[in-house]
Homo-oligomer: A and B are copies of this chain.
Amino acid sequence: MYNASDYIVDFLLHKKINQAFVVTGGACAFVVDAMGKNKDFIYKSFHHEQSAAMAADAVYRVDNSKIGITVATSGPGATNLITGIACSYFDSIPSIHITGQVNSKESSKYLKANVRQAGFQETDIVSMVKPITKAAKKVSDFQDLKNTLEEFYLEAISGRMGPVLIDIPMDIQQEEVEKFTPKNVIPKKTNFKISKEDSETLNTFFRDAKRPLVLFGAGIGLSNSQNKVINWIDSLEIPFVSSWNGLSYFDHSNNNYFGHIGVYGNRGSNNIIQNCDALLVLGSRLDNRQRGSNVDNFAPGAKKLVIDIDINELNKYDQTYKALNYDLSYIEEITSNIIFSGINKDWAKYITSQKEKYLFKDLSTYHKNKNSLSPYAITKKIVDNLPKKSILIPECGANLCWVYQTMNIKDTIVFTSGGNSPMGYTIPATIGAKLTNPNSSVYGILGDGGFQMNIQELQTIAYLNLDIKLFVYNNFGYGIIKQFQDTYMSSRYEASGLGYSQPNFEKVANLFGFEYRKIETLEDLKISDLTSSQKLIFDVILDPNTEIEPKTEMGRVINDQFPYQTDEEFEKNNNFFLKNSDYNRPKN
């Protein structure tokens, strides 16, 4: 018997999706069964739905011809997906989540009852995920399921992309239905046209600029326009900086690249963006980790033009920003309207000196004072020695900052869950990455806190025998919180160091069949281990209070970072920026 679950699998195969990440359960068992029966489809079992959703989030990030799929059961199965779905939503990653739901006739809606729950484990997952999905729906019958599959698939990959969720009652899953036959959907061809007014805006934007700059956002990569943008930049020698999520999409040795900006951005790059006078932002939402909390003094001397696919992101800006709502897929049509006639000597000299002084330089001091291992040095050693076309996934907090502050990559696929940034992301994301690109070497860098959050998935790695390498930057607690507590709570490390604990990581490695390396010095890391065919856990021992350097604290402008420069140094590095007195630089 061919049922609606078989139909779903055939639909996915038709869209060239042949893999799903699942935790089964009563209410989704028919869908999983159909996946198991179909010889062209593969499902992989995870040990927690959260991890399945995080792994699914990684799929598109490593191969934009694929989309992550999860299947979970009703109730806790569905709610366990939520944190992973949020990863996809905030970073505009397409993914499809299929949840089982109680039989239609057992639902509270059928009973016309406004009760907390009617069917066993019945939960209104659709309402719950509304704030973190582009679309979510409980289907009412097979016809609705058919239409929803087509619509939601398109929704996930169109416009500003994102996750979708389809909730399917058990009775519909097992309904006997007609076989799937592909419809020839002719995608609506958007006639791309830039208005006359916008054309004029683009035309003149850099005309009178003395200190032009481009900010490279992740939207460029998400629209698959990275090569076109880099070609345009290279041909005209336009200086650019990048957002962190933008960093995934170009070769960092590019001469026109002047580093990454933000609260934890490079000091030189922050100086550059703060001192520019014309800033073109391509596909970046300029969130608080980019502009800092002192938003009014972000690039205060610059006129700003933001181009983004999401009109809502543009509506948030005040009148000091000019905003154009275009899809960066049409980047050539956009850039062809921009006139850029080179940069003057002063600006060239300034940005070059800032890059030379700060980018790819480890200027951190903490480890020197403590005579401990520098997270920057170990990251550099890792990143510099990755095989070609590796995948590197740092997690969140301090480890994320150390990696992104150090990163200098050529063809490595680097990503993290930027906007959601959960502890526990890296282990499942490495699994998702490896299952998507089995030929790539996959590396995770994470903290000891995050390592424990989805530790059960080490079993998934073991069972699937994936040669993943995990670097646990072990600072015995939540490092980024400790640094926050240093600043605001007189170093009371409540729940970040105090009351926090961890198991013996060597025993953890042993339990799950990983090789284990303790890294206490730079030399302890053997290059040969990076290309070993074994799965490996590197326990990278850091001083518990190892700091993130530099870091912008609350209220400061992003070019005024800890460790603080003297007023003199600060002014020397910011030729064109406001004088200290103009914006009341806080005392240090």
**A43-B499, A503-B512 known; A108+B22 contact, CB < 8 A:** no
Cβ-defined contact, B419 with A452, below 8 A:
no
CB < 8 Å neighbour of A511 from B23, B495, B507: B507
Cα distance, A124 to B131, chains bound together (Å): 7
Given A459-B452, A481-B24, also A123-B128 (CB < 8 A): no
Per the bound structure, the CA–CA distance linking A75 and B76 in Å amounts to: 19
- Interface residues of A toward B: which range? 35 or more
Q: Closest approach, in angstroms, between the C-beta of A580 and any C-beta of chain B?
A: 23
Partner-contacting stretch, out of A29-37, A141-149, A213-221, A431-439? A29-37
A394 part of interface (Cβ distance < 8 Å): no
Contact among B89, B115, B456 with A453 in the assembled complex (CB-CB below 8 Å): B456
**Does A335 belong to the interface (CB within 8 Å)?**
no
Contact with B along A92-119 (1 / 0, CB 8 A): 0000000000110110100111111111
Residues A495 and B22 in contact in the complex (CB < 8 Å), given A115-B310, A115-B313 = yes
| Nearest-neighbor residue (CB-CB) of A286 within chain B | B118
Copy total for this chain = 2
Whole-angstrom distance from the CB of A289 to the nearest CB of chain B?
Answer: 5
Instruction: Please tell me if A225 contacts chain B, counting CB pairs below 8 Å.
Output: no
Contact of B35 with A494 in the complex, beta carbons under 8 Å: yes
CB distance from A115 to the nearest CB of B (A): 5
**B489 touching A419 by the CB < 8 A rule?**
no
Tell me which residues across on chain B come within 8 A of A498, comparing CB atoms.
36
Point out the residues of chain B lying under 8 angstroms from A500, CB to CB: 45
Q: Which residues of A (441-492) have their CB < 8 Å from a CB of B?
A: 449, 452-453, 455-456, 458-460, 462-463, 478, 480-481, 484-485, 488-489, 492
**Residue of A114, A117, A130, A421 with highest tally of chain B CB at under 10 A:** A117
State which of B86, B90, B130, B287 has its C-beta within 8 Å of the C-beta of A127. Answer: B130
A517 at interface (Cβ–Cβ under 8 A)?
A: no
Interface: A390 (CB within 8 A): no
Q: Which residues of B contact A37 (CB under 8 A)?
A: 492, 494
B36 contacts A492, C-beta separation under 8 Å:
yes
Residue ID in chain B nearest A121 by CB atoms: B421
Q: Does A2 contact B (CB under 8 A)?
A: no
Residues of B within 8 A of A132 (CB): 79, 123, 128
> A481 → chain B, closest Cβ, in Å?
6
Q: A83 on the interface (CB 8 Å rule)?
A: yes
Which of A23, A47, A75 has the most CB atoms of chain B within a 10 A radius of its CB? A47
Task: Tell me which residues across on chain B come within 8 A of A315, comparing CB atoms.
Answer: 112-114
A414-B159 Cα distance, complex, nearest whole Å: 52
With the chains together, A458 CA to B316 CA distance in Å?
45
Contacts of A502 in B (CB 8 A): 459
Contact between chains at B36 and A293 (CB < 8 Å): no
CA of A504 to CA of B510, assembled, Å: 10
Residue of B nearest to A478 (CB): B24
Among B89, B115, B313, B511, the residue within 8 A (CB) of A285 is B115
A478 to B485, CA, bound (A): 43
Inter-chain contacts of A22 with B (CB < 8 A): 495
- Contact, CB under 8 Å: A111 / B316: yes
Which of B33, B174, B288, B313 sits near A492, CB closer than 8 Å?
Answer: B33
Bound CA–CA A492/B37 (angstroms): 9
Known A-B contacts A83-B80, A459-B503, A499-B45; the reply to A75 vs B115 at CB < 8 A is no
Q: How far is the CA of A497 from the CA of B478 in the complex (A)?
A: 37
Given contacts A29-B494, A30-B489, A80-B422, 16 further A-B contacts (CB under 8 A): A26-B481, A30-B488, A33-B492, A43-B495, A43-B499, A75-B421, A114-B315, A115-B316, A117-B285, A118-B288, A121-B420, A452-B459, A453-B456, A455-B455, A455-B456, A460-B501
A-B contact pairs, 15 of them (CB 8 A): A25-B478, A29-B496, A30-B489, A33-B485, A33-B494, A36-B494, A50-B50, A76-B424, A112-B316, A113-B315, A117-B419, A118-B316, A119-B288, A452-B459, A503-B511
